Structure 1
Amino acid sequence: MLIRLLDIVFAFFGLLFGFPVLVILTIIGLFETGSPIFRQVRVGRNKKAFTLVKFRTMKKDTASVASHLASASAITPFGGFLRKTKLDELPQLWNVLCGDMSLVGPRPCLFNQEELIAEREQRGVLKARPGITGLAQVNEIDMSTPVLLAQTDAKMLENLTLANYFKYIVQTVAGKGSGDRIKK
Protein backbone atom coordinates (compact mmCIF):
# COMPACT_ATOMS: atom_id res chain seq x y z
CA MET A 1 0.00 0.00 0.00
CA LEU A 2 2.86 2.38 0.82
CA ILE A 3 4.58 1.62 -2.48
CA ARG A 4 1.36 2.39 -4.40
CA LEU A 5 1.08 5.70 -2.53
CA LEU A 6 4.70 6.52 -3.40
CA ASP A 7 4.02 5.57 -7.04
CA ILE A 8 1.10 8.00 -7.17
CA VAL A 9 3.01 10.85 -5.52
CA PHE A 10 6.17 10.40 -7.64
CA ALA A 11 4.21 9.94 -10.88
CA PHE A 12 2.07 13.01 -10.22
CA PHE A 13 5.00 15.27 -9.39
CA GLY A 14 7.11 13.72 -12.15
CA LEU A 15 4.44 14.59 -14.71
CA LEU A 16 3.85 18.01 -13.18
CA PHE A 17 7.49 19.10 -13.04
CA GLY A 18 8.47 17.12 -16.13
CA PHE A 19 5.70 18.67 -18.24
CA PRO A 20 7.98 21.21 -19.99
CA VAL A 21 10.41 18.38 -20.90
CA LEU A 22 7.52 16.22 -22.12
CA VAL A 23 6.30 19.05 -24.36
CA ILE A 24 9.78 19.69 -25.82
CA LEU A 25 10.39 15.98 -26.48
CA THR A 26 6.94 15.65 -28.06
CA ILE A 27 7.61 18.57 -30.41
CA ILE A 28 11.03 17.21 -31.43
CA GLY A 29 9.52 13.75 -31.96
CA LEU A 30 6.71 15.27 -34.01
CA PHE A 31 9.24 16.72 -36.44
CA GLU A 32 11.19 13.46 -36.65
CA THR A 33 8.45 10.84 -37.02
CA GLY A 34 5.20 12.78 -37.22
CA SER A 35 3.93 10.61 -34.37
CA PRO A 36 6.01 11.09 -31.20
CA ILE A 37 3.85 9.05 -28.81
CA PHE A 38 3.93 5.26 -29.00
CA ARG A 39 1.11 3.14 -27.61
CA GLN A 40 1.24 -0.62 -27.35
CA VAL A 41 -0.94 -3.20 -25.62
CA ARG A 42 1.07 -5.05 -22.97
CA VAL A 43 0.55 -7.75 -20.36
CA GLY A 44 -0.39 -6.18 -17.05
CA ARG A 45 -1.12 -7.39 -13.56
CA ASN A 46 -2.94 -10.75 -13.55
CA LYS A 47 -2.46 -10.90 -17.35
CA LYS A 48 -4.88 -8.01 -17.85
CA ALA A 49 -4.16 -6.02 -21.01
CA PHE A 50 -3.29 -2.34 -20.74
CA THR A 51 -1.97 0.27 -23.16
CA LEU A 52 1.60 1.31 -22.41
CA VAL A 53 2.51 4.87 -23.43
CA LYS A 54 6.03 6.01 -24.22
CA PHE A 55 7.95 8.17 -26.66
CA ARG A 56 8.46 6.64 -30.08
CA THR A 57 12.08 5.59 -30.64
CA MET A 58 11.62 3.54 -33.80
CA LYS A 59 10.25 4.30 -37.24
CA LYS A 60 6.45 4.22 -37.45
CA ASP A 61 6.34 1.14 -39.71
CA THR A 62 8.45 -1.05 -37.38
CA ALA A 63 6.82 -4.40 -36.57
CA SER A 64 5.30 -4.74 -33.09
CA VAL A 65 7.87 -7.08 -31.58
CA ALA A 66 10.04 -7.11 -28.47
CA SER A 67 12.99 -4.70 -28.75
CA HIS A 68 15.55 -7.49 -28.92
CA LEU A 69 13.85 -8.74 -32.11
CA ALA A 70 13.77 -5.32 -33.80
CA SER A 71 16.57 -4.12 -36.06
CA ALA A 72 18.92 -1.35 -34.96
CA SER A 73 18.18 0.37 -38.28
CA ALA A 74 14.59 0.91 -37.05
CA ILE A 75 15.77 3.29 -34.32
CA THR A 76 15.57 6.93 -35.29
CA PRO A 77 18.41 9.34 -34.42
CA PHE A 78 16.30 11.11 -31.79
CA GLY A 79 15.00 7.73 -30.64
CA GLY A 80 18.59 6.65 -29.96
CA PHE A 81 19.03 9.69 -27.72
CA LEU A 82 15.76 8.98 -25.92
CA ARG A 83 16.75 5.34 -25.30
CA LYS A 84 20.24 6.23 -24.11
CA THR A 85 18.91 8.80 -21.62
CA LYS A 86 15.83 6.66 -20.80
CA LEU A 87 13.64 9.70 -21.49
CA ASP A 88 11.48 7.51 -23.74
CA GLU A 89 10.04 6.04 -20.52
CA LEU A 90 8.76 9.39 -19.12
CA PRO A 91 5.19 9.08 -20.49
CA GLN A 92 4.84 5.82 -18.55
CA LEU A 93 4.41 7.96 -15.46
CA TRP A 94 0.85 8.31 -16.77
CA ASN A 95 0.51 4.49 -16.68
CA VAL A 96 1.79 4.57 -13.09
CA LEU A 97 -0.66 7.30 -12.09
CA CYS A 98 -3.56 5.35 -13.65
CA GLY A 99 -2.59 2.21 -11.72
CA ASP A 100 -1.58 0.06 -14.69
CA MET A 101 2.08 0.15 -13.66
CA SER A 102 4.39 0.83 -10.73
CA LEU A 103 7.69 2.67 -10.81
CA VAL A 104 9.37 -0.61 -9.77
CA GLY A 105 8.27 -3.99 -11.04
CA PRO A 106 8.77 -6.48 -13.86
CA ARG A 107 8.83 -4.79 -17.29
CA PRO A 108 5.53 -5.43 -19.10
CA CYS A 109 5.87 -7.79 -22.04
CA LEU A 110 3.86 -8.28 -25.21
CA PHE A 111 1.16 -10.94 -25.41
CA ASN A 112 3.11 -12.72 -28.16
CA GLN A 113 6.02 -13.37 -25.77
CA GLU A 114 4.46 -16.65 -24.71
CA GLU A 115 7.60 -18.23 -23.22
CA LEU A 116 8.18 -15.23 -20.94
CA ILE A 117 4.52 -15.13 -19.92
CA ALA A 118 4.58 -18.85 -19.04
CA GLU A 119 7.81 -18.46 -17.03
CA ARG A 120 6.44 -15.44 -15.17
CA GLU A 121 3.11 -17.12 -14.52
CA GLN A 122 4.88 -20.18 -13.10
CA ARG A 123 6.77 -17.93 -10.65
CA GLY A 124 3.84 -15.70 -9.67
CA VAL A 125 5.39 -12.62 -11.29
CA LEU A 126 2.20 -11.70 -13.15
CA LYS A 127 0.40 -11.10 -9.84
CA ALA A 128 2.42 -7.90 -9.48
CA ARG A 129 1.94 -4.58 -11.23
CA PRO A 130 4.48 -4.24 -14.06
CA GLY A 131 7.06 -1.52 -13.59
CA ILE A 132 9.17 1.04 -15.39
CA THR A 133 12.34 -0.33 -13.81
CA GLY A 134 13.51 -3.11 -11.55
CA LEU A 135 16.29 -5.53 -10.69
CA ALA A 136 16.47 -6.99 -14.20
CA GLN A 137 16.73 -3.58 -15.86
CA VAL A 138 19.56 -2.30 -13.66
CA ASN A 139 21.42 -5.57 -14.29
CA GLU A 140 20.90 -5.45 -18.08
CA ILE A 141 18.71 -8.56 -18.21
CA ASP A 142 16.18 -8.07 -20.96
CA MET A 143 13.40 -10.01 -22.64
CA SER A 144 15.81 -11.94 -24.87
CA THR A 145 16.43 -14.32 -21.93
CA PRO A 146 12.91 -15.24 -20.73
CA VAL A 147 13.86 -17.79 -18.05
CA LEU A 148 16.55 -15.58 -16.49
CA LEU A 149 14.27 -12.55 -16.69
CA ALA A 150 11.38 -14.36 -14.97
CA GLN A 151 13.74 -15.70 -12.27
CA THR A 152 15.16 -12.21 -11.68
CA ASP A 153 11.67 -10.65 -11.58
CA ALA A 154 10.54 -13.24 -9.01
CA LYS A 155 13.66 -12.60 -6.90
CA MET A 156 13.03 -8.85 -7.03
CA LEU A 157 9.40 -9.22 -5.95
CA GLU A 158 10.31 -11.56 -3.08
CA ASN A 159 12.82 -8.99 -1.80
CA LEU A 160 11.02 -5.75 -2.68
CA THR A 161 11.50 -3.57 0.35
CA LEU A 162 11.15 0.19 0.51
CA ALA A 163 14.95 0.46 0.43
CA ASN A 164 15.14 -1.69 -2.74
CA TYR A 165 12.31 0.31 -4.33
CA PHE A 166 14.35 3.50 -3.95
CA LYS A 167 17.60 1.73 -4.88
CA TYR A 168 16.26 0.58 -8.28
CA ILE A 169 14.85 4.03 -9.02
CA VAL A 170 18.12 5.78 -8.10
CA GLN A 171 20.20 3.26 -10.10
CA THR A 172 17.97 3.77 -13.15
CA VAL A 173 18.09 7.57 -12.93
CA ALA A 174 21.88 7.37 -12.47
CA GLY A 175 22.12 5.43 -15.75
CA LYS A 176 22.67 1.85 -14.56
CA GLY A 177 21.43 -0.65 -17.13
CA SER A 178 21.40 -0.03 -20.84
CA GLY A 179 17.86 -1.08 -21.74
CA ASP A 180 16.73 -3.78 -24.12
CA ARG A 181 19.19 -5.15 -26.62
CA ILE A 182 18.62 -4.38 -30.27
CA LYS A 183 19.73 -6.59 -33.16
CA LYS A 184 22.65 -5.07 -35.05
Structure 2
Amino acid sequence: MTSPLIRVLDFSLALFGLILSAPIFLLIYLIGLFDTGSPVFCQQRVGKQCRPFTLIKFRTMAKATESVATHMVDSSSVTKLGAFLRKTKLDELPQLINVLRGEMSFVGPRPCLFNQEELIEARQKRGVLDVLPGITGLAQVNGVDMSEPEKLAKLDAEMISSFSLALYFQLIIQTATGKGAGDRVRR
Protein backbone atom coordinates (compact mmCIF):
# COMPACT_ATOMS: atom_id res chain seq x y z
CA MET A 1 0.00 0.00 0.00
CA THR A 2 2.84 2.42 0.60
CA SER A 3 4.27 2.53 -2.90
CA PRO A 4 6.38 5.52 -3.96
CA LEU A 5 3.47 6.70 -6.15
CA ILE A 6 1.05 6.67 -3.19
CA ARG A 7 3.60 8.56 -1.06
CA VAL A 8 3.96 11.23 -3.79
CA LEU A 9 0.16 11.48 -4.07
CA ASP A 10 -0.22 11.67 -0.28
CA PHE A 11 2.41 14.39 0.02
CA SER A 12 1.09 16.43 -2.92
CA LEU A 13 -2.57 16.19 -1.89
CA ALA A 14 -1.75 16.99 1.74
CA LEU A 15 0.32 20.04 0.80
CA PHE A 16 -2.35 21.25 -1.62
CA GLY A 17 -5.05 20.58 0.99
CA LEU A 18 -3.21 22.50 3.70
CA ILE A 19 -2.68 25.50 1.41
CA LEU A 20 -6.25 25.46 0.15
CA SER A 21 -7.81 24.98 3.58
CA ALA A 22 -5.61 27.47 5.46
CA PRO A 23 -8.47 30.01 5.90
CA ILE A 24 -10.82 27.26 7.19
CA PHE A 25 -8.05 25.95 9.44
CA LEU A 26 -7.55 29.42 10.93
CA LEU A 27 -11.29 30.00 11.39
CA ILE A 28 -11.82 26.66 13.17
CA TYR A 29 -8.76 27.36 15.33
CA LEU A 30 -10.08 30.78 16.39
CA ILE A 31 -13.61 29.50 17.10
CA GLY A 32 -12.06 26.58 18.98
CA LEU A 33 -10.26 28.99 21.29
CA PHE A 34 -13.67 30.18 22.48
CA ASP A 35 -15.14 26.66 22.53
CA THR A 36 -12.55 24.81 24.63
CA GLY A 37 -9.61 27.18 24.96
CA SER A 38 -7.45 24.52 23.31
CA PRO A 39 -8.60 23.89 19.71
CA VAL A 40 -5.91 21.40 18.69
CA PHE A 41 -5.87 17.88 20.10
CA CYS A 42 -2.73 15.73 19.96
CA GLN A 43 -2.71 12.08 21.02
CA GLN A 44 -0.31 9.14 20.80
CA ARG A 45 -1.62 6.54 18.35
CA VAL A 46 -0.49 3.20 16.95
CA GLY A 47 1.32 3.69 13.65
CA LYS A 48 2.93 1.43 11.08
CA GLN A 49 4.74 -1.54 12.69
CA CYS A 50 3.09 -0.55 16.02
CA ARG A 51 5.33 2.53 16.28
CA PRO A 52 3.82 5.45 18.20
CA PHE A 53 3.12 8.75 16.48
CA THR A 54 1.27 11.89 17.52
CA LEU A 55 -2.07 12.26 15.77
CA ILE A 56 -3.24 15.86 15.29
CA LYS A 57 -6.94 16.77 15.19
CA PHE A 58 -9.22 19.64 16.05
CA ARG A 59 -10.59 19.14 19.55
CA THR A 60 -14.22 17.99 19.56
CA MET A 61 -14.59 17.11 23.25
CA ALA A 62 -14.07 18.89 26.54
CA LYS A 63 -10.41 19.04 27.61
CA ALA A 64 -11.06 16.90 30.70
CA THR A 65 -12.41 13.97 28.64
CA GLU A 66 -10.65 10.68 29.42
CA SER A 67 -8.19 9.43 26.79
CA VAL A 68 -10.06 6.33 25.64
CA ALA A 69 -11.57 5.16 22.37
CA THR A 70 -14.34 7.49 21.17
CA HIS A 71 -17.04 4.82 21.41
CA MET A 72 -16.33 4.63 25.16
CA VAL A 73 -16.98 8.35 25.74
CA ASP A 74 -20.36 9.85 26.62
CA SER A 75 -21.91 12.09 23.99
CA SER A 76 -22.15 14.84 26.62
CA SER A 77 -18.36 15.25 26.29
CA VAL A 78 -18.74 16.48 22.70
CA THR A 79 -18.90 20.28 22.48
CA LYS A 80 -21.29 22.14 20.16
CA LEU A 81 -18.44 23.06 17.83
CA GLY A 82 -17.15 19.50 18.18
CA ALA A 83 -20.46 18.03 17.03
CA PHE A 84 -20.33 20.20 13.90
CA LEU A 85 -16.67 19.33 13.24
CA ARG A 86 -17.34 15.60 13.67
CA LYS A 87 -20.42 15.68 11.42
CA THR A 88 -18.55 17.53 8.65
CA LYS A 89 -15.29 15.61 9.30
CA LEU A 90 -13.46 18.93 9.58
CA ASP A 91 -11.95 17.70 12.87
CA GLU A 92 -9.70 15.50 10.69
CA LEU A 93 -8.20 18.46 8.77
CA PRO A 94 -5.01 18.74 10.88
CA GLN A 95 -4.19 15.13 10.01
CA LEU A 96 -2.98 16.51 6.68
CA ILE A 97 0.12 17.44 8.70
CA ASN A 98 0.50 13.77 9.73
CA VAL A 99 0.22 12.78 6.05
CA LEU A 100 2.76 15.41 5.02
CA ARG A 101 5.20 14.09 7.65
CA GLY A 102 4.79 10.51 6.37
CA GLU A 103 3.15 9.19 9.56
CA MET A 104 -0.16 8.57 7.83
CA SER A 105 -1.63 8.12 4.37
CA PHE A 106 -4.93 9.44 3.09
CA VAL A 107 -6.14 5.84 2.85
CA GLY A 108 -5.35 3.14 5.40
CA PRO A 109 -6.61 1.64 8.65
CA ARG A 110 -7.65 4.32 11.17
CA PRO A 111 -4.99 4.60 13.89
CA CYS A 112 -6.09 3.31 17.27
CA LEU A 113 -4.93 3.99 20.80
CA PHE A 114 -2.38 1.75 22.50
CA ASN A 115 -4.99 0.78 25.12
CA GLN A 116 -7.21 -0.80 22.43
CA GLU A 117 -5.46 -4.12 22.87
CA GLU A 118 -8.19 -6.28 21.33
CA LEU A 119 -8.08 -4.24 18.10
CA ILE A 120 -4.27 -4.21 18.01
CA GLU A 121 -4.20 -7.99 18.42
CA ALA A 122 -6.81 -8.51 15.67
CA ARG A 123 -4.88 -6.20 13.34
CA GLN A 124 -1.52 -7.83 14.08
CA LYS A 125 -3.02 -11.23 13.31
CA ARG A 126 -4.08 -9.96 9.85
CA GLY A 127 -0.97 -7.88 9.01
CA VAL A 128 -2.93 -4.61 9.15
CA LEU A 129 -0.23 -2.85 11.18
CA ASP A 130 2.29 -3.43 8.37
CA VAL A 131 0.96 -0.36 6.54
CA LEU A 132 0.62 3.32 7.35
CA PRO A 133 -2.59 4.26 9.12
CA GLY A 134 -4.97 6.46 7.15
CA ILE A 135 -7.41 9.31 7.45
CA THR A 136 -10.05 7.13 5.84
CA GLY A 137 -10.52 3.56 4.75
CA LEU A 138 -12.96 0.88 3.71
CA ALA A 139 -14.33 0.47 7.24
CA GLN A 140 -15.02 4.20 7.62
CA VAL A 141 -17.06 4.51 4.42
CA ASN A 142 -19.02 1.44 5.50
CA GLY A 143 -19.80 2.82 8.97
CA VAL A 144 -17.69 0.31 10.91
CA ASP A 145 -15.86 1.89 13.83
CA MET A 146 -13.49 0.76 16.57
CA SER A 147 -16.31 -0.55 18.76
CA GLU A 148 -16.25 -3.68 16.56
CA PRO A 149 -12.54 -4.67 16.61
CA GLU A 150 -12.78 -8.01 14.78
CA LYS A 151 -15.05 -6.65 12.05
CA LEU A 152 -12.85 -3.56 11.68
CA ALA A 153 -9.62 -5.57 11.43
CA LYS A 154 -11.23 -7.84 8.82
CA LEU A 155 -12.32 -4.87 6.66
CA ASP A 156 -8.88 -3.27 7.08
CA ALA A 157 -7.21 -6.48 5.85
CA GLU A 158 -9.66 -6.69 2.94
CA MET A 159 -8.82 -3.11 1.94
CA ILE A 160 -5.08 -3.80 2.08
CA SER A 161 -5.31 -7.00 0.01
CA SER A 162 -7.44 -5.35 -2.70
CA PHE A 163 -5.66 -1.98 -2.66
CA SER A 164 -5.30 -0.12 -5.95
CA LEU A 165 -4.99 3.45 -7.15
CA ALA A 166 -8.67 3.36 -8.10
CA LEU A 167 -9.65 2.27 -4.56
CA TYR A 168 -7.42 5.01 -3.10
CA PHE A 169 -9.31 7.73 -4.98
CA GLN A 170 -12.70 6.03 -4.53
CA LEU A 171 -12.35 6.00 -0.73
CA ILE A 172 -11.14 9.62 -0.61
CA ILE A 173 -14.06 10.76 -2.77
CA GLN A 174 -16.61 8.75 -0.78
CA THR A 175 -15.30 10.23 2.47
CA ALA A 176 -15.23 13.79 1.08
CA THR A 177 -18.82 13.47 -0.14
CA GLY A 178 -20.06 12.30 3.26
CA LYS A 179 -20.30 8.51 2.98
CA GLY A 180 -19.80 6.70 6.26
CA ALA A 181 -19.44 8.17 9.71
CA GLY A 182 -16.83 8.83 12.35
CA ASP A 183 -16.50 6.82 15.52
CA ARG A 184 -19.72 6.84 17.48
CA VAL A 185 -19.91 8.10 21.04
CA ARG A 186 -22.06 6.56 23.77
CA ARG A 187 -25.55 8.00 24.06
- TM-score if structure 2 supplies the norm length? 0.98
Structure 2: how far apart are the matches of 1:22 and 1:10? 16
2:71 to 52, 55, 68: 68
Unaligned runs of 5+ in 1: none
Structure 2: how far apart are the matches of 1:169 and 1:17? 17
- Which ranges of 4 or more aligned residues in structure 1 deviate by more than 4 Å? none
SS in 2 for 1:61: coil
Task: Name the amino acid aligned to 1:153.
Answer: D
1:45 to 40, 43, 48: 48
Q: CA RMSD in A?
A: 0.4
Structure 2: how far apart are the matches of 1:176 and 1:67? 19
Within 5 Å, give how 1:66-105 maps onto structure 2: 66-105=69-108
Deviations 1:17-58 (A, max 9, x none): 111110000000011100000000000000000000000000
1:63 Cα deviation from its structure 2 partner: 0.1
How many residues get paired?
Answer: 184
Task: Name the amino acid aligned to 2:146.
Answer: M
Structure 2: how far apart are the matches of 1:9 and 1:30? 30
Task: Name the amino acid aligned to 2:23.
Answer: P
Task: Name the amino acid aligned to 2:86.
Answer: R
2:172 to 165, 169, 172: 169
What is the aligned partner in structure 2 of residue 106 from structure 1? 109
SS in 1 for 2:20: helix
Unaligned runs of 5+ in 2: none
Structure 2: how far apart are the matches of 1:10 and 1:31? 30
Aligned-pair identity in percent equals 60
What is the aligned partner in structure 2 of residue 8 from structure 1? 11
- TM-score if structure 1 supplies the norm length? 0.99
1:181 Cα deviation from its structure 2 partner: 1.0
Structure 2: how far apart are the matches of 1:85 and 1:165? 20
1:59 Cα deviation from its structure 2 partner: 0.3
Structure 2: how far apart are the matches of 1:7 and 1:75? 30
What is the aligned partner in structure 2 of residue 31 from structure 1? 34
Task: Name the amino acid aligned to 1:90.
Answer: L
Does residue 136 in structure 1 map to residue 139 in structure 2?
yes
Structure 1: how far apart are the matches of 2:115 and 2:15? 31
